[in-house]
């Protein structure tokens, strides 16, 4: 897998985590480590897994093994 395939994912994940954990959550009523902040993190992780699986599926369809 090429590193360039991960650029869109990094373009989503880095700002999401920085804004979420750096700006929004600390100033809200859910500040701290609790089920809501862990849920936010697992949602971002789920998006990463979904993206990776999608890239793998497309690679498999475009470059079948012979």
Which phi and psi (to 5°) does residue 29 adopt?
-75, -5
How does DSSP classify residue 28?
S
Residue span of the structural domain in which 38 resides: 8-60
Q: What is the pLDDT of residue 1?
A: 79
pLDDT at residue 16, rounded to an integer: 97
Does residue 66 sit within a domain? Answer: no
Rounded to whole angstroms, what are the CA distances from 29 to 12, 19, 38?
25, 16, 14
Alpha helices in 1-66 (DSSP H): 7-19, 35-62
Please indicate, yes or no, if residue 44 is contained in any of the structural domains.
yes
| Res. 63 pLDDT band, cuts 50 70 90 | confident
- Residues found in the chain: 66
Is it the case that residue 66 has pLDDT exceeding 70? no
4-60: pLDDT as tens digits: 999 999 999 999 999 999 999 999 988 899 999 999 999 999 999 999 999 999 998
Position 45 in a domain: yes
Number of domains in the chain: 1
């Amino acid at each position: 897998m090429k590193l360039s395939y991960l650029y869109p994912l990094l373009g989503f994940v880095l700002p999401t985590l920085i804004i979420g954990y750096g700006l929004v959550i600390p100033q809200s009523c859910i500040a701290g480590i609790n089920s809501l902040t862990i849920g936010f993190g697992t949602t971002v992780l789920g998006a990463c897994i979904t993206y990776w699986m999608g890239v793998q599926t497309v690679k498999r369809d475009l470059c079948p093994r012979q």
